[in-house]
């Protein structure tokens, strides 16, 4: 399996679909790269639910910013890597005062890392371009960066799954 992007709206079921894809791989090790920084009780509860859904056979690597390095460091034969999610990673980069160009450069580094990986890599991301134009500059920066990153990742992946209401639809591959 080559790189896969699983993309959809918030609460569309994309994380569950990505987890099913990863669990279907014939591998001896499973690595979950988490980009979330749980800064409040609600996010801590979400993280705990996701961990319970994955089960004990997953190794978790927490990396909120240096995602390409985390993928490269953990990619080896006999593994599957699941990255959840690109949207929180982009948020972390925006909040670290990265420009659109710097975020695009980070995405290109990630694209290179997933293409070089000797194991399946599955990425999860939110589609944020179907809504209205946000009224404030920070939200527009995030939306624009997410759109660009999603385009870079979709191009780098051999398969793209669009998830709507828990149903995956193949839009590439």
| Helix (H), strand (E) at residue 146 | helix 137-156
Task: List the catalytic residues.
Answer: 50
d(CA 119, CA 140) in angstroms, rounded, equals 35
| All structural domains of the chain | 4-172 (3.40.50.300)
Is 131 among the annotated ligand-binding positions? no
d(CA 27, CA 19) in angstroms, rounded, equals 14
Contact 160, 54 (CB under 8 A): no
> pLDDT tens digits for 47-57?
778 777 788 89
Is 13 among the annotated ligand-binding positions? yes
Average pLDDT over the chain reads 94
For the segment 156-170, the average pLDDT, to the nearest whole number, is 97
Q: How many CB atoms lie within 10 A of CB 1?
A: 16
pTM: 0.94
Q: Which three-class secondary structure state does DSSP give residue 132?
A: coil
Is 78 among the annotated ligand-binding positions? no
Whether omega before 146 lies within 30 degrees of 0, making that bond cis, reads no
d(CA 100, CA 66) in angstroms, rounded, equals 16
Is 8 among the annotated ligand-binding positions? yes
Whats the size of the chain, residue-wise?
A: 173
In this prediction, residue 40 has a pLDDT band, given cuts at 50, 70 and 90, of confident
Which pLDDT value is given to residue 46?
78
State phi, psi for 86 to the nearest 5 degrees: -65, -30
Contact 149, 108 (CB under 8 A): no
Is 98 among the annotated ligand-binding positions? no
> pLDDT tens digits for 116-143?
999 999 999 999 988 888 899 999 999 9
Which pLDDT value is given to residue 42?
85
Is 84 among the annotated ligand-binding positions? yes
In this prediction, residue 14 has a pLDDT band, given cuts at 50, 70 and 90, of very high
Q: Which is nearest to 7 in space by CA: 155, 156, 173, 154?
A: 154
Q: How many CB atoms lie within 10 A of CB 133?
A: 8
Which pLDDT value is given to residue 55?
84
For the segment 59-81, the average pLDDT, to the nearest whole number, is 97
Residue 77 DSSP label: T
């Amino acid at each position: 399996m080559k790189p896969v992007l699983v993309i959809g709206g918030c609460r569309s079921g994309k994380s569950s679909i990505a987890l099913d894809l990863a669990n279907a791989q014939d591998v001896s090790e499973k690595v979950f790269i988490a980009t979330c920084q749980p800064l409040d009780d609600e996010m801590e509860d979400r993280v705990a639910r996701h961990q319970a859904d994955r089960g004990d056979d997953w190794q978790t690597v927490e990396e909120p910013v240096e995602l390409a390095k985390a993928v490269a460091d953990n990619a080896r034969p006999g593994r599957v890597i699941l990255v959840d999610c690109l949207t929180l990673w982009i948020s972390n980069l925006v909040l670290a005062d990265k420009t659109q160009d710097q975020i695009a450069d980070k995405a290109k580094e990630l694209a290179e890392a997933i293409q070089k990986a000797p194991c399946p890599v599955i990425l999860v991301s939110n589609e944020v371009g179907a809504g209205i134009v946000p009224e404030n500059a920070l939200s527009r920066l995030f939306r624009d960066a997410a759109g660009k990153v999603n385009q870079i990742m979709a191009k780098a992946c051999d398969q793209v799954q669009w998830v709507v209401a828990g149903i995956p639809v193949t839009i590439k591959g």
